[in-house]
Each structure stands twice: as C-alpha cells, then as structure tokens.
Amino acid sequence: MHPPFRHRTQAGELLARSLSHLAGREDVTVLALPHGGVPVAFEVALALGAPLDLAVVQPILQTLDSSHGDVTLGLLGSPPAVQLNDATLNALNLSDEALGQALTLARQRLRQRVRAMRPGALASSLEGRTVVVVDDGTAAGVALRRAAGLLRRAGARTLVAAIPVGAQEGLRLLASDFDEVVCCLQPEPFVSVPGCYASYPEVTDAEVRELLERARVRSAPRATAPRV
C-alpha cells in the first residue's frame, strides 16, 4: 500500500484546499510547528494569502537529581507567552530564586532556537487574530495542544488546528483546545506520521529560514508606481 502523500509540499497543497474558507481574510495568521510543519504551512499560507511564522514551544525544566532527571515546570512560547504548571510548582515547593533560574535558562534556549530558524525577525502580534496552527501530522496531538495554550495567552482570538493526517483519538483530543480542527486524512489503523509520506526527510534550520523568507517576500505589499 502506497503512502497517501508523496511529500510535505503535496500534503500542504491538499490541506490548503480544506482551509479555503479562510482565504483572503486579513485577520488570519498561519503558524507552523517546527520543523516538519513548516513546508506544509508554507503551502497553506501561500494559498490563503496569509503571513507565515513559527509557533515554538520551550519546556521550562528543573533538574531534581540524577535519579529523577528533569521535571517540566511549564512552557514558554514564541510568539511570547508563558504557561506555568501550578500543581507541579506547589508539589515541588520551589523557591522564587530556583523558579527564576529555570525561567532564565528556558528563555535563553528559546531565543537560541528561534534565532536559528528565524534570524533577525520579530514574531507578529496575535492579538485578536485567527491563527491556523499547522503540523505535518499528529498521533496524540501533544505538540499542537501545548502550542494552543500558549497561543491563547499570546492573544489569539480563534485557533484552527490544521494537519494533513492524524489519528482519530488525537484529533478528538485537539477539539477541546481548538475552535476548529481540519484534517485531510484519518487512516485507521494509524501507524505513524512518517509512514504517511513516501518522502519524509528531516527539515533543517536552513530550510525553515528559506521558507519563512520566501513567505515574507510573497506577502510583502507591493509598491505602486506614482502617477505621472
């Protein structure tokens, strides 16, 4: 049996057709989950005539000891947002100093990741916008759900999860975090996201930068010649 998609570009083109009701709207922003979601989201943003950016999630970690490893205290996001896990913080009874150190380290790591993929550019404001969050597929919906909470805090008015392929249970879970869930294919049984693509190469930071730049150039307003 052949995989349903040849590559992420084809998947993005198909996904864009399912999002045609959002085309041409000035309040729409497309955000990609790096790295695999970016080639898919590029095609979606192009078809919708919407700006393209990244939704980056960075865990806030605290190391307890060598036997327990790291504990996640919350999440940081780009566009800027923070979501703390109050239950974990209360259970650990961390000092303000320890929490501050964990936040500082998480912010440093987030900045490094974002600069590697989107150097010199600032994330656009999401205040009051309809945000289409794109990945190349989902099994349990974990990455998309983490992004959703942060994007709400960043000001998004409406959240749309958009994926070419997903497991039915994962899509059901997404419905509690997103206002709309758009998915082209829901194979049963669902094996894996890579198994749904004939070609599923790793997407590099350099490729992400290139696609974001291409999207920026395409969406930039064109100067009109002065009348003589």
CATH number of 8-56+122-219: 3.40.50.2020
| Total Cβ atoms within 10 A of residue 194 | 12
Longest dimension (CA), the chain: 76
pLDDT in tens, the chain (228 residues): 689 999 999 999 999 999 999 999 999 999 999 999 999 999 999 999 999 999 999 999 998 776 667 899 999 999 999 999 999 999 998 889 999 999 999 999 999 999 999 876 666 789 999 999 999 999 999 999 999 999 999 999 999 999 999 999 999 999 999 999 999 999 989 999 999 999 999 999 999 999 999 998 887 654 444 443
